[in-house]
């Protein structure tokens, strides 16, 4: 971004600046004083600490100005101070102005209980074959990350691919209203955040909020295999297209052939092409279908999309195959987890051939609320001792699954560890895992199984 302070002040309705301050140019924006570069505007947000405490550090790093919340004004600083009711709201207002009035790219907004980050990466890769594309970095998908992504756009951006997350009602409404997407995508409805929503139906209601800001001539793309979405889509007046594995969808896949490092599939609408994605899982084929539909909306040729999908870059910690210190193959999927995702990855993992054993290391799935114990225990039918020979369970909620598996697995092959015993679990794994084994790591990110992954890769076997 590049704007004068006077223009910024006008957009966010800040108190007037002096003529000298108003003529200064803002070349970027950040809420983290450690990442501030000269010429940036500092946004003091309220986190564990009050962001206003870092205004002196922002000044020292070369900030050109700072927002100041009205309830903190006046504040002593050498920076030009733009006094606003709320710095976060001001940042969002500035982002919407920059998006709609300065750059005005086409906007693709993507949400879903699972698959939104992978779908974002696939979509951006396809569109980048013809357009100058900016996409959400990492998981900058909330009320802070979305405006930050928008404000990071270069002026020549033609398509903006935004990942949008949510953990409470109204969040996607606000994000969609801010971005006013041309295309809105919902990948699937799972159990993520069911602690707060209580039912999948209410999760579906919240996900549908992504259409609230959808332009009148926009397109709604969603998973047509999900009855909850099909039912709710009837109320949407914009153009609609669906994807999935059933023939009634606009785009559907068949002849799915899974491999350890890639998955091949064909699409009924383009029978002469075989698509390949560099990740495993039928569920990722469904994500690819969503990306293909978006690409078709932007008139990207099927054979061009085929090449883009074959080489797209996967965001870290999502179904990565790695090699451990003992030579074991490790399937790491430690970024998030819910019952739908857990079942899918266990199924795919169990289908890969291993000379040794299949060992599953599973941690708690968070934010499942009062249904948590039942949903954890319900995973028992996804685990077969003939397919997954050894199970390590970690976390307070996984105790329910340990109880449910007690009749299926011998004590030698079923191991449970409370949250306080991660170090012991790591030591036991290092002593147990052999060269010919295949290991799955899967849990919600809050369990930090990446530390287990790091230990297995670094070594320390007895």
Q: Is 27 annotated as a binding residue?
A: no
Token pair of 150 as six digits? 């928008």
Alpha-carbon gap, residue 263 to 136, rounded angstroms: 25
Q: Is 118 annotated as a binding residue?
A: yes
- Residue 446's Cβ-count burial label (10 Å; 0-12, 13-18, 19+) is middle
Q: Are 361 and 383 in contact (CB under 8 A)?
A: no
Q: E strand or H helix at 270, and its extent?
A: strand 270-277
Count the alpha carbons within 13 Å of 159 in the hemisphere toward its beta carbon.
Answer: 21
Contacts of residue 78, defined as CB under 8 A and 6 or more positions apart, other chains included, come to: 59
Q: Is 102 annotated as a binding residue?
A: no
Contacts of residue 76, defined as CB under 8 A and 6 or more positions apart, other chains included, come to: none
Q: Is 115 annotated as a binding residue?
A: yes
Alpha-carbon gap, residue 131 to 73, rounded angstroms: 44
DSSP code of 447?
Answer: G
Q: How far is CA 367 from the centre of its chain?
A: 16
Q: Is 113 annotated as a binding residue?
A: yes
Alpha-carbon gap, residue 404 to 328, rounded angstroms: 28
Q: Is 114 annotated as a binding residue?
A: yes
* Parallel, antiparallel or unpaired: strands 251-258 and 263-267: antiparallel
Alpha-carbon gap, residue 138 to 156, rounded angstroms: 22
* Parallel, antiparallel or unpaired: strands 390-394 and 414-417: parallel
Q: E strand or H helix at 438, and its extent?
A: strand 438-442
Handedness of CA 398, 401, 407, 410 (dihedral sign): negative
Alpha-carbon gap, residue 369 to 284, rounded angstroms: 27
Residue 407: count of CB within 10 angstroms of its CB: 7
Q: Are 343 and 383 in contact (CB under 8 A)?
A: no
Is the link from the previous residue into 74 a cis peptide, with omega within 30 of 0?
A: yes
Which segments of 164-269 are extended strands (E)?
183-186, 219-223, 239-244, 251-258, 263-267
Alpha-carbon gap, residue 456 to 193, rounded angstroms: 30
Alpha-carbon gap, residue 433 to 450, rounded angstroms: 17
Token pair of 325 as six digits? 């210190």
Q: Is 340 annotated as a binding residue?
A: no
Alpha-carbon gap, residue 390 to 412, rounded angstroms: 8
Residues in binding site: 112-118
Residues in binding site for ATP: 112-118
């Amino acid at each position: 971004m590049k704007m004068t302070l006077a223009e910024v002040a006008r957009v966010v309705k800040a108190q007037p600046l002096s003529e000298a301050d108003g003529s200064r140019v803002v070349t970027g924006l950040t809420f983290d004083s450690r990442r501030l570069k000269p010429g940036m505007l500092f946004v003091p947000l309220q986190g564990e600490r009050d962001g206003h405490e870092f205004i002196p550090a922002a000044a020292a790093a070369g900030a050109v100005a700072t927002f100041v919340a009205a309830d903190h004004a006046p504040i002593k600083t050498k920076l030009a101070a733009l006094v606003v009711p709320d710095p976060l709201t001001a940042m969002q207002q500035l982002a919407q102005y920059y998006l709609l009035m300065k750059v005005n790219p086409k906007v693709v907004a993507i949400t879903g209980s699972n698959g939104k980050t992978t779908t974002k990466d696939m979509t951006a890769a396809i569109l980048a074959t013809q357009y100058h594309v900016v996409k959400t970095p990492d998981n900058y998908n909330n009320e802070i990350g979305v405006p930050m992504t928008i404000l990071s756009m270069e002026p020549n951006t033609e398509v903006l691919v935004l990942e949008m997350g949510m953990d409470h009602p109204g969040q996607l409404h606000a994000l969609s209203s801010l971005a006013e997407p041309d295309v809105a995508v919902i990948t699937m409805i799972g159990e993520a955040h069911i602690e707060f929503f209580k039912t999948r139906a209410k999760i579906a209601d919240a996900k549908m909020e992504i259409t609230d800001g959808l332009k009148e001539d926009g397109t709604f793309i969603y998973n047509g295999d999900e009855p909850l979405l099909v039912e709710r889509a009837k109320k949407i007046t914009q153009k609609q297209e669906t994807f999935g594995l059933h023939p009634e969808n606009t785009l559907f896949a068949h002849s799915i052939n899974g491999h350890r490092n890639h998955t091949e599939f064909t699409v009924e609408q383009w029978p002469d092409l075989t698509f390949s994605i560099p990740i495993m899982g039928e569920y990722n084929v469904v994500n690819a279908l969503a990306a293909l539909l978006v690409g078709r909306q932007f008139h990207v040729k099927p054979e061009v999309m085929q090449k883009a999908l074959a080489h797209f870059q996967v965001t870290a910690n999502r179904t990565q195959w790695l090699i451990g210190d003992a030579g074991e193959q490790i399937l790491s999927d430690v970024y998030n987890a819910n019952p739908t995702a857990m079942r899918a990855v266990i199924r795919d993992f169990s289908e890969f051939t291993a000379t040794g054993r299949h060992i599953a290391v599973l941690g708690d799935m968070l934010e499942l609320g009062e249904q948590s114990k039942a949903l954890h225990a319900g995973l028992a039918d996804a685990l077969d001792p003939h397919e997954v020979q050894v199970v390590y369970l970690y976390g307070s909620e996984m105790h329910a699954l340990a109880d449910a598996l007690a009749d299926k697995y011998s004590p030698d092959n079923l191991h449970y560890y409370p949250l306080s015993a991660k170090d012991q679990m790591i030591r036991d794994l290092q002593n147990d895992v052999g060269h010919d084994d295949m290991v799955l790591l899967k849990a919600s990110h809050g369990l930090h199984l990446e530390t287990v992954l790091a230990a297995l890769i670094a070594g320390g076997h007895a």
